[in-house]
Amino acid sequence: MCRRETARWLREQGFDARHLRDEDLQRLPDEEIFAKAIAEGRVVVTHDLDFGEIGALTRGRKASVIVFRLHNPRQPQLIERLSSVLSDSTEALRQGAVVIVEDARHRIRPLPIGAKR
Alpha-carbon radius of gyration of the chain = 13
Averaged confidence pLDDT in the chain: 85
Classify residue 115: in a domain, yes or no.
no
Residue 100: predicted pLDDT: 93
Residue 108: predicted pLDDT: 93
Name the more confident of 116 and 40.
40
Angle 53-99-62 from CA coordinates, rounded to 5°: 70
> Which CA distances in Å does 47 have to 88, 100, 116?
19, 10, 26
Query: Which tens digit of pLDDT belongs to each residue from 70-105?
Result: 998 888 999 999 999 998 999 999 988 889 999 999
Split at pLDDT 50, 70, 90, the class of 112 is confident
Query: Which tens digit of pLDDT belongs to each residue from 39-74?
Result: 998 899 998 887 767 666 666 677 788 999 999 888
- Asked if the model's pLDDT at residue 22 lies above 80, the reply is yes
Domain limits at 64? 4-110
Domains of the chain: total: 1
DSSP H helical ranges for the chain: 4-12, 30-40, 50-56, 75-95
Classify residue 87: in a domain, yes or no.
yes
Split at pLDDT 50, 70, 90, the class of 19 is very high
- Helices 75-95 + 4-12 axis angle, to 10: 60
Residue 72: predicted pLDDT: 85
Classify residue 116: in a domain, yes or no.
no
Residue 105: predicted pLDDT: 95
